[in-house]
Structure 1
Amino acid sequence: MIRLVFIVIRFFFEIPSIFHRIHKQLKNKDQISVAERIDTMRKILRKAVKRANVDLKVYGIENLPEEGGFLITPNHQGMFDIVALFYAIDRPFKIVYKKELRKIKIVADALDSMDYLAIDRQNLRQSIQVIRQVKKELAEGMPWVIFPEGTRSKNGNQLLEFKGGSFKSAMDAKVPVVPVANINCYEVLDRNTLKKVHCQIHFLKPISYEEYKDMNSEELAMHVKKLIERCIEEHA
Structure 2
Amino acid sequence: MSDILIACRTVVTYVVVLLYIGIVGPIGLAITLMFRWTAGLYALGHGGVWLALTLAGIRYRVAGREHVPGDSAVVFCSNHESNVDPPVLFEALHRRLHVLYKAELHKFPIMGTVFDFGGFVPVDRGDRDKAMASIAQGADSLRAGNSFLIFPEGTRSRTGHLLRFKKGGFIMAIQAQVPIMPVAVQGGRAAMRRGSAIVRPVRVSVRIGAPIPTKGLTLDDRDQLIERVRTEVERLLAEGSVWETGRSPR
TMscore range, shorter length: 0.7 to 0.9
Query: How many residues of Structure 1 are paired with residues of Structure 2 in the alignment?
Result: 232
**Quick check: 2:140–2:176 contact (8 Å CA) kept in 1?**
yes
1:95 maps to 2:125: no
Structure 2 unpaired stretches of 5+: 1-6, 242-250
**In structure 2, what is the equivalent of residue 159 of structure 1?**
162
| RMSD across aligned positions (CA) | 2.6
CA distance in 2, matches of 1:113, 1:198: 32
Question: Scaled by the length of structure 1, what TM-score is found?
Answer: 0.85
In the other structure, the counterpart of 1:172 is 175
From the CA coordinates, give the structure whose radius of gyration is larger: 2
**Structure 1 residue aligned with 2:4:** none
Q: Is the 8 A contact 1:26 1:113 kept in 2?
A: no
Partner Cα separation in structure 1 for residue 161 and residue 142 of structure 2: 29
Which residue does the alignment assign to 1:85?
A: 89
Secondary structure at 2:183 match in 1: strand
Once the two structures are superposed, what CA deviation does each residue of 1:115-144 show, in whole Å capped at 9, x if it has no partner? Answer: 211211111111111111111111121111
Using the TM superposition, name which of 205-214 and 74-83 deviates more: 205-214
Over the matched positions of the two proteins, sequence identity in percent amounts to: 26
1:183 maps onto 2:189 in alignment: no
**Residue 37 (structure 1) shift:** 1.7
Which residues of 2 match residues 23-34 of structure 1 at below 5 A?
A: 23-24=29-30, 27-28=33-34, 31-34=35-38
In structure 2, do the counterparts of structure 1 residues 59 and 202 end up closer, same or farther at CA, with 3 Å as the change threshold?
Answer: same
How far apart are the structure 2 equivalents of 1:190 and 1:114? Answer: 31
What CA deviation, in whole Å up to 9, does each residue of 1:75-103 have, x standing for no partner? 12233221012211233120111124346
Q: Which amino acid aligns with 1:123?
A: D
Match of 1:227 among 206, 209, 232: 232
Residue 55 of structure 1: aligned partner: 59
TM-score for the superposition, normalised by structure 2? 0.81
Q: Does 1:74 align with 2:74?
A: no
1:108–1:5 CA distance, 2 compared to 1 (3 A): farther
Distance 1:178 1:134 in 2: 16
Q: For residues 194 and 74 of structure 1, do their structure 2 counterparts lie closer, same or farther at Cα, with a shift above 3 Å needed?
A: closer
Farther off after superposition, 210-219 or 6-15? 210-219
Q: Which runs of 5+ in 1 are unaligned?
A: none
Code of the residue aligned with 1:8 in structure 2: it is Y
Give the secondary-structure state (helix, strand or coil) at the position aligned to 2:192: helix
Q: How does 1:8-27 map to 2 (within 5 A)?
A: 8-21=14-27, 23-24=29-30, 27=33
Q: How far is the alpha carbon of 1:27 from its aligned partner? A: 4.3
1:203 aligns with 2:203: no
